Structure formats: C-alpha cells, structure tokens
Amino acid sequence: MSWAIRVEDLGKKYRRGEVQPLNLNFREALTDFTKNCLSRLNPFGAGSSSADATPFSDSKAGSSDDHSEFWALRNINMEIHEGEVVGIVGRNGAGKSTLLKIMSRITWPTCGVVRYRGKMASLLEVGTGFHRELTGRENIFLNGEILGMRRAEVARKCDEIVAFAEVEKFLDTPVKFYSSGMYLRLAFAVAAHLEPEILIVDEVLAVGDWAFQKKCLGRMSEVARSGRTILFVSHNMGAIAELCNRAILLHYGKQLAQGQVTDVLEAYSRLISQSGCQTQLSVNPSLSCSVTAVKLCDDEGRETSSFDIAQSLVFSITYQVTTSLQGLQITLTLARNMVDVVHSFDTDRMDKLPLRQPGTYEARHTIPKMFLKAGVYSVRITAGTPDRLIQDLESVLHFEIEELSQNTHMKGYRKERAGHVISPGTWETRKLE
C-alpha cells in the first residue's frame, strides 16, 4: 500500500508577537524598521564590531529564542497510508490544530515537508463561510465551494445534502432564522458530502444533538470504509477508538506516541494523569496547627490531578498539631470558575467537635464518582476552631475533571449546562395511565 500523507521533520515556530498581533502596532514596526535601517547603514555604530556583524534581525531572533518564540510543533514525522483512519490526540495546546492547519495549507511550516497525494479537504470548523443573511440553498453552494467543491458538484449533491440535513422546508429562508441545531446540521451535511481522497477533520463531531452526532459518526465511518484517508482530531476517545486504526499522540508540539489506537490512548490517559497532584508545605512553628501536605489521588490510589468524570477523588490532608486544640476543624473547599461548589468540614459527621492532641494527623476526604462536573477546580484548605481561623491556604491544588469516558451530549450534567454538580439524587418514572 502506498502512502497518502508523508510528514518529514515538520516544525512550526510562532513568535509570541504573532500570536498576539494587537501588541504589534505600526509605531513599533516603524521604530524597528528605522533601527534596522540604521544598523545596516552604520555597521560600526554603537557596540563591538563583532556584534554588528550579524544583521539586526538575526541577532534578535537568536537572543529571543526562549522568550518570544516557541515551537508549536517540532520534529514531527509520520507516514499515513492510503485508506487509513488516523486519530490525533493530545491535550489543549499540544499542537494538534497547528498540525492540521499546516497540512491543509492554511499556515506554513517553519521547517520540514509535508507531501500528500490526491485532493485534500479539511474541516477545521463546521459551517466555515456561512453567511447569516443568505438562504440555506445559497449557503450550501457557498460553503461547498469554500470547501473545495466545484459548482456543478454541489448542484449534483444538493438534494442529498438537504435530505441529510433535514431542512427541506427552510431551504429558502436566511440561515439567521435557523435554530442552532438546524444550522449545524446543514453545515455538517455540506461537509459530509465532500469526496476528497484525504479528509482532515478537527473536532467537528462535537456539535449537534446526540441523534445527529450518531449520524455524523456513521457518515464518517462510511467515508472511512470507502477507502479514503482520514485524519481525525478529537477529544472523544470513544470516537477515536471506534473510527481509527491508528493514532498519534502529541504533547507540547512533540510526537510522543504513534501506533495502535489502544496503546496511544493508554499513553494519553497516562499523560493526562501526571503532574502537580500534591503540595508540600513547610511547618510554621508559631501556629498551633499547620497543614504540611495536601495530596490528591484517584480511587486506585494513584496520585493525579486529572480525573475522569467517572472516577472518585481522594483528598488527603496531613497536618501537625503542636498544642492541643479543642474543636479543630479542617475545611475543604472546591471552586470551579470562581464558584465554591463544595464546602466541607472534616467534622461534619460528628456530633461533638473533637479534641486534637499534639501530633501529626491525616484527614482523608473522598468525593464519589459522578458528582463533580467536568472542569478545572481549585482546592482551598483552612484549619481553625469555631472562634478562630488558624490557617487559610487558598488554591493549594488544582485538578481537572474531564468527560472522557462518558458521552455527555444528552446528559443534564454536560459541562456547558446549568448546575454546579451532578445530582446525587435518583430519577424514577412510572407510567400512571
């Protein structure tokens, strides 16, 4: 089998100034330009002659290597065969989108080569170029042509697209009057009818309701079965496992693993569960009680700061008491998006506040699985008695809960929906009549 895409030693370097273009204004450019001119005109100007031997731009690039520049991608090598479906996984900022953007010729690499054979279409977004004022039909044509179809091709597939999107009745209505679901359905329908040899898909399946998502996934696997090469980025590990025959793991612009989907997904879950899951604190001798360590584990006892929504969390707080304290309480507060979601005392289940003799204690608190919604949380620990706050440790830890194992699109506790926690209550519905 011959290759469809070949990537050799690919790298992309961004200047931070380019990432935040607003910082770069005309005046700075003018001063840069004048400096540049001056340094060229005057090679024996201020400073030693050896420093001036390099042109201004070069010396700038060299000196600012670690501050104003960073590699979004580096040393990427891969070969994708015809008809393969390859999943790309990685955390946010791992370089997945940059890779897809280079492959789809939107941005240019700093070094390296990408070769591909055949026509390529990339779906980095659903509904690119849709215009709100235009009707559904007009948008089908516009969007189709933007995605690289010829006009005749769109005309041929128009009926099919409309049927797939289920918007027959509203075809001549401007899309600004569409519901968001209809809009997305129409947008995906156009994209789903592309027939390139290579298809690049970035996270576009994360739209629409569950039924439509299934339809999209179905369509994707149909496309995959028809022998096309697909490059697929998704956070939905389930979708990757289902669709792909190979996967690539990116981490901070580097290619960490490549190969069997199960292996790569395992490496990915190992990766996201590392780092920053405990805090050691020094003992403050002037305090009667001081927290020395805060640790966070999953239900299997592994230290981690990244959890799946279906994992329980175990906090372990170690503290030292130097003089005996009546009614010492340890408080655990979890905040997500500046909102305190959980506020709990270690004495909540006791009838009477305890007396803590001098010594070292460990307090453990377990938060059951399927209770905290997905998101990034910060942990605050305080120690004190009912009449006195002894220690207040804000943001001692951070952790993240992700919707990895669960497809939450039809669930009430989906990250974007209202509510702060997943209801621990239960539902029962019975038929009355």
Partner 1 sequence: MLSETIIAADQRIRTWQYLRDLWSYRDLFWALVERDIKVRYKQTVLGVAWVLIQPICTAVAFSIIFGRVAGMDSQGLPYPLFYLAALIPWTCFTNALSQAAGSLESSAGLITKVYFPRLIAPGAMVLGTVVDFAIGWFVFNVVAIVWGYWAVFYSSQPETVNQVYWTWKFILFTPILLGLQLSAAMGIELVLAILNAQYRDVRYVIPFMIQVMMLASPVIYSLKRLLETRWGEWLMVFAYINPMAGVIETYRALLLGNYIPYELLACNFFMAVSLLFLGIIFFRTREQRIVDLL
What does the angle CA 88 – CA 93 – CA 99 come to, to the nearest 5 degrees?
45
Residue with tokens 């001692």: 396
Assess contact for 283 and 292: CB atoms under 8 A. Answer: yes
Which one among 80, 85, 88, 103 touches partner 1, defined by CB under 8 A? Answer: 103
Residue with Cβ nearer partner 1 (126 or 404): 126
Which one among 111, 341, 370, 376 touches partner 1, defined by CB under 8 A? Answer: 111
Which one among 118, 181, 276, 359 touches partner 1, defined by CB under 8 A? Answer: 118
| Cα–Cα distance, 390 to 286 (Å, whole number) | 10
Which one among 47, 62, 92, 133 touches partner 1, defined by CB under 8 A? Answer: 133
Which one among 124, 158, 171, 335 touches partner 1, defined by CB under 8 A? Answer: 124
User: Per-residue contact track with partner 1, 226 to 255, x per CB under 8 A?
Assistant: ------------------------------
Please give the size of the binding site for partner 1, defined by CB under 8 A: 49
Length of the chain: 433
Torsion 223-87-218-192 (CA) sign: negative
CB under 8 A: which stretch of 40-48, 128-136, 264-272, 306-314 binds partner 1? 128-136
Assess contact for 293 and 318: CB atoms under 8 A. Answer: yes
- Minimum CB separation of residue 123 from partner 1 in Å reads 9
Chain CA centroid to CA 290, Å = 37
131 binds partner 1 (CB under 8 A): yes
Assess contact for 76 and 112: CB atoms under 8 A. Answer: yes
What does the angle CA 320 – CA 321 – CA 325 come to, to the nearest 5 degrees?
150
CB under 8 A: which stretch of 116-124, 183-191, 308-316, 394-402 binds partner 1? 116-124
Residue with Cβ nearer partner 1 (73 or 383): 73
Q: Which residues inside 1-60 make contact with partner 1, applying CB under 8 A?
A: 11, 14, 18-19, 21-22, 24-26, 29
CA nearest 287: which of 332, 333, 327, 320?
320
Residue with Cβ nearer partner 1 (147 or 379): 147
Residue with Cβ nearer partner 1 (73 or 297): 73
Which one among 76, 89, 147, 334 touches partner 1, defined by CB under 8 A? Answer: 147
- Minimum CB separation of residue 91 from partner 1 in Å reads 21
Assess contact for 251 and 90: CB atoms under 8 A. Answer: yes
Assess contact for 157 and 193: CB atoms under 8 A. Answer: yes
Task: Give the CA dihedral 13, 18, 24, 26, nearest 10 degrees.
Answer: 100
Assess contact for 87 and 201: CB atoms under 8 A. Answer: no
Which one among 32, 69, 125, 400 touches partner 1, defined by CB under 8 A? Answer: 125
DSSP for 27-95, please give it: HHHHHHHHHHHHHHH-TTSSS-HHHHHS-HHHHHHHHTTTTTEEEEEEEEEEEEETT-EEEEE--TTSS
Q: Which residues inside 151-180 make contact with partner 1, applying CB under 8 A?
A: 151, 174
Where does this chain bind partner 1 (CB under 8 A)? 11, 14, 18-19, 21-22, 24-26, 29, 101-120, 122, 124-125, 128-129, 131, 133-134, 138, 141-142, 145-148, 150-151, 174, 197
